[in-house]
Amino acid sequence: MPTIKNDTLTTEIKPDWGEIDHVRERTETFLKSCGFSDDIIHALQMVSSELVENAVKYGDFSAGGNQKITHSVDVRDGRITVEVKNPVKPSDEDHLDRLDSQIQWIRGFQNPFEAYVEKLKEVSAKMLAAGESGLGLVRIAYEGQSILDFYVDDHNILAVSAVLEYK
Amino acid sequence: MSEPKVFSSQALTIKVREDGPGFILEWTGKSNEREPGKFITPILTEIMEKAGQNPVVLDFGNLEYMNSSTITPIIRILDTAKKNKQKIKILYKKALKWQDLSFSALTIFKTEDGQISIEGV
């Protein structure tokens, strides 16, 4: 692998579906400038896309609140961390519980491929709607080879991160 | 043979061409809509109905990107084909790592008799 440059990309975007393409483009340009291969760039474009899609779908952008999503990609010491932050309703415990249980469920598998296959079977068997399948998070773990985590701060900002180790 | 039919929605194009008695669907561009099934499912359903017992090929080799919401309608059509004993083949580009990871996992839906097949080329 060529020498990788440590750097950070941080962008604030509107909660608009059309912004997701721009996020993917900016992620590509940034990771290319750091010296990563096409395979890693494709994987992290997908990770960025899926996390921002979730932020647009489930964030709380009601009037008067915080109207933005923050997307960042941090390259440091053999790790690439993609983080997406968005406001959530304090009362939206269902969404946070679902996110927590999905991440714990994925971590329960030794190999994320097994989690992905299980999820595909579940989507097939339960006739789940695309949005409620949780396939995006499992895909981040499997195709994106990333470890997922999240927290909610005191200002009700949800931060979901995906960490890929490339060394 | 009739001219190929081209269906486009935002960044995704699906070109449908007849291949003998069957059909080949070539996917190009990016599938990144919020609900891609609204565009994809009616096309796939219509082609599967027209094809009957003749083979249908879904060629993803030139697809640049798809979001996870795109996978659901693909799984649905594999399920339908299996139930109706229709022939369907998924082609993808093995050299592209994202395609290899995404589509090779769909081998869980393939059948021993080749009715449903997933092939990296």
DSSP letter for each residue of chain B: -PPPEEEEETTEEEEEEEETTEEEEEEEEEE--SSTHHHHHHHHHHHHHHHTTS-EEEEEEEEEEE-HHHHHHHHHHHHHHHHTT--EEEEE-TTSHHHHHHHHGGGGG--TTSSEEEEE-
How are strands ordered across the β-sheet holding A79-87?
A7-13, A69-76, A79-87, A157-165, A147-152
Give the CATH number for residue B63: 3.30.750.24
For residue B106, list chain A residues with Cβ-Cβ distance below 8 A.
Answer: 120
Delimit the domains of chain A by residue range: 7-165
Instruction: Name the least confident of A17-21, B30-34, B79-83, B97-101.
Output: B79-83
Residue A132 predicted with pLDDT over 70: no
| B-interface mutation test, from A16, A25, A36, A135, most B Cβ less than 10 A away | A135
Residue A108 predicted with pLDDT over 90: yes
Contacts of the segment A157-160: beta carbons below 8 A, 24+ positions apart:
A157/A66, A157/A85, A157/A86, A157/A87, A157/A88, A158/A55, A158/A59, A158/A85, A158/A86, A158/A87, A158/A88, A158/A96, A158/A99, A159/A83, A159/A84, A159/A85, A160/A51, A160/A54, A160/A55, A160/A83, A160/A84, A160/A85, A160/A99
Q: Which class does domain A7-165 fall in?
A: alpha beta
Q: Any CB–CB contact under 8 A between B108 and chain A?
A: yes
Q: How many domains, chain B?
A: 1
Residue from the list B78, B98, B108 with its beta carbon closest to the beta carbon of A117: B108
Q: pTM, whole model, 2 decimals? A: 0.93
A-B contacts (CB, under 8 Å): 74
- Label residue A129 by pLDDT band (50, 70, 90): low
Average pLDDT over residues B55-83: 95
Residue B98 sits in which domain range? Answer: 5-120
pLDDT tens figures, A44-97: 999 999 999 999 999 999 866 678 999 999 999 999 999 999 999 887 888 899
B105 contacts A116? CB cut-off 8 A: yes
Average pLDDT score, chain A: 91
Instruction: Name the least confident of A61-65, A127-131, B62-66, B94-98.
Output: A127-131
Per-residue pLDDT at A62: 85
ipTM: 0.92
Per-residue pLDDT at B1: 62
| A-interface mutation test, from B12, B82, B101, most A Cβ less than 10 A away | B101
Residue A1 predicted with pLDDT over 60: no
B11 contacts A39? CB cut-off 8 A: no
Share of chain A above pLDDT 70, in %: 93
Average pLDDT score, chain B: 95
- Tokens matching residue B32: 């990144």
Per-residue pLDDT at A124: 87
Residue B84 predicted with pLDDT over 70: yes
Per-residue pLDDT at A65: 67
Residue B87 predicted with pLDDT over 90: yes
Residue from the list B68, B76, B96 with its beta carbon closest to the beta carbon of A135: B68
For residue A127, list chain B residues with Cβ-Cβ distance below 8 A.
Answer: 76
* CA R_g for chain B: 13
